Chain A
Amino acid sequence: NAGVTQTPKFRVLKTGQSMTLLCAQDMNHEYMYWYRQDPGMGLRLIHYSVGEGTTAKGEVPDGYNVSRLKKQNFLLGLESAAPSQTSVYFCASMRAGEQFFGPGTRLTVL
């Protein structure tokens, strides 16, 4: 039982490049979330999903898109990366009010 996994762990992009972050969970949870963590800011919600095929905007959705084609996977996309998107990205899934977090993806945009 791997819990919540994130791919990749690290990535460096140039401004304007695109990429997709993958989150996978093997706990059969309906709810999944993407957060970003910046120094002194805590974690902020980007997008979330309440089930397969559904997505919703969080607090800071601009510049990101998401998809939940399969229940176990939640993808976060950056179409045209900007330096302001340099951050650590955490995925989480939820059951009974408790969120289970992945190990994070450290993204640097130059």
Chain B
Amino acid sequence: AQSVTQLGSHVSVSEGALVLLRCNYSSSVPPYLFWYVQYPNQGLQLLLKYTTGATLVKGINGFEAEFKKSETSFHLTKPSAHMSDAAEYFCAVTRLMYSGGGADGLTFGKGTHLIIQP
């Protein structure tokens, strides 16, 4: 079974400050990890993903995340927060990738609401 824990249901940072959203996962097989963003009353948009290879992954809007196997973590960071970053962020894990064997969906964390203070 897989699980995802996002530390902090709400995170508040000042505009221009570092954004750090924490995600820890549990998986019995090598994980594939994702960060999604959800703006109010909208669907989810993929920010970035880790499958294999380089452990530092860069995504859209200046976000990046680092896969640390020893810490079972996949924290999301952005050097300088912008007001437009205010949204709900979800970390997700899956165990089977689309490569002939099928994929049985994502397991999501409960989400972190990012608040940007002016």
Contacts and interface: CB of A to CB of B under 8 A. Distances in A.
B44 interface: yes
A48 B97 contact: no
A25 B118 CA distance: 39
Interface residues of A, number: 28
B109 A42 contact: yes
A53 to B, nearest CB: 14
A77 interface: no
Given A33-B105, A90-B44, A102-B43, A42 B98 contact: no
Nearest to A34: B105
B46 to A, nearest CB: 6
A98 B97 CA distance: 9
Contacts of A45: 104-107
Interface residues of B, number: 28
Nearest to B94: A97
Given A43-B90, A94-B98, A101 B43 contact: yes
A82 interface: no
Nearest to B97: A97
B9 interface: yes
B17 interface: no
A47 B27 CA distance: 21
Contacts of A58: 104-105
A104 B107 CA distance: 18
A96 interface: yes
22 contacts: A31-B98, A35-B108, A40-B110, A42-B90, A42-B110, A43-B90, A45-B105, A48-B104, A50-B103, A94-B98, A95-B98, A97-B32, A97-B97, A97-B98, A97-B103, A98-B46, A99-B34, A99-B46, A99-B106, A101-B43, A103-B42, A104-B43
